[in-house]
Amino acid sequence: MAELGAYVFVFLAGLVTALATGLGALPFFLVEEVSDRWNVALWGLASGIMIGASVFGLASEGLAYGTPLDLGVGALAGVVLVVVAHEVIADVEVHPRKYEEADYRKLLLILGVLTVHSFPEGVAVGVSFAELGFDTLGGVVVFGTAVPLLAVFMTLAISIHNVPEGVAVSIPLRTMDVPPWRMVWWAVFSSLPQPLGAVVAFYFVTVAERFLPVGFGFAAGAMVYLVLTEFIPEALELGEGLAGGGRRELVAGVLVGGGATVPLLAVTSV
């Protein structure tokens, strides 16, 4: 089992992704709104990094520890989690306007819904830290700890994805004349379950090595499915008013994000 310091490290990585959501509110300190063009490009960038890291990183690592069957079972479980999560929150509307109007009990309910929504993203972060502390080839040393390159990519991908989510949370709050600093808080609040998901996933993949291939497959399946069914459709919806429906910005973002995973592919294939 990993030491307490490792769990703190993973929790902080998940917290970074949550804090990144607050970045989506920062532009409102300077401007009234953020252009759809930039939002679409950010969704595309995050999607490209996630797909690349999932296929070339998570899946590759999973095959290094187990069989294609192990990986496939995990990927299927990841897809099922996202599908079930969508079903659970399908009839529950948690609009950012309700953040400001909610009492303590309602905030707990809202946080529960947000947990179901963002938990898979935290899981991907946690699983990617499975080799934390090992001197892995191509890893990055942070505060004296060897951090897998895969973990760096996945934390970056989730963080980038959270920025436009923060914008989406902030826009209706802006119409309510909510002060910018409170918009930052509510944006971060919407992603607070991610550090929890990261720690839980990290625990399961470190407590028993046999969970590793399934865990990697689980995270990869959840991420790819999220990109295909949520991120890309969201980007296309935002880009409806742009020339070409925003497809140019989306494709550019995906290509840049996917291209950023090339170093990861080189490392994991050695």
List, for residues 67-112, the tens digit of each pLDDT value: 899 899 999 998 988 888 777 666 666 656 666 665 556 555 566 6
Q: What is the pLDDT of residue 165?
A: 78
- The single-letter code of the amino acid at 27 is P
Q: What is the pLDDT of residue 76?
A: 94
Q: What is the pLDDT of residue 98?
A: 64
Res. 187: pLDDT tops 90: no
For the chain, give the percent of residues with pLDDT over 90. 9
Q: What is the pLDDT of residue 264?
A: 56
Q: What is the pLDDT of residue 102?
A: 59
27 or 232: whose pLDDT is higher?
A: 232
Confidence category of residue 267, pLDDT binned at 50, 70, 90: low
Confidence category of residue 28, pLDDT binned at 50, 70, 90: confident
Q: What is the pLDDT of residue 251?
A: 92
Q: What is the pLDDT of residue 34?
A: 66
What does the pLDDT average to over 217-226?
87
Confidence category of residue 270, pLDDT binned at 50, 70, 90: very low
Confidence category of residue 9, pLDDT binned at 50, 70, 90: confident
What does the pLDDT average to over 128-155?
71
Res. 171: pLDDT tops 80: no
- Lowest mean pLDDT: which of 63-77, 120-134, 136-150? 136-150
Query: Could you give the angle at the alpha carbon of 61 between the alpha carbons of 56 and 67, nearest 5°?
Result: 110
Q: Where are the domains of the chain?
A: 4-268
Res. 19: pLDDT tops 90: yes
Q: What is the pLDDT of residue 209?
A: 67
Average pLDDT, the chain: 79
Res. 142: pLDDT tops 80: no
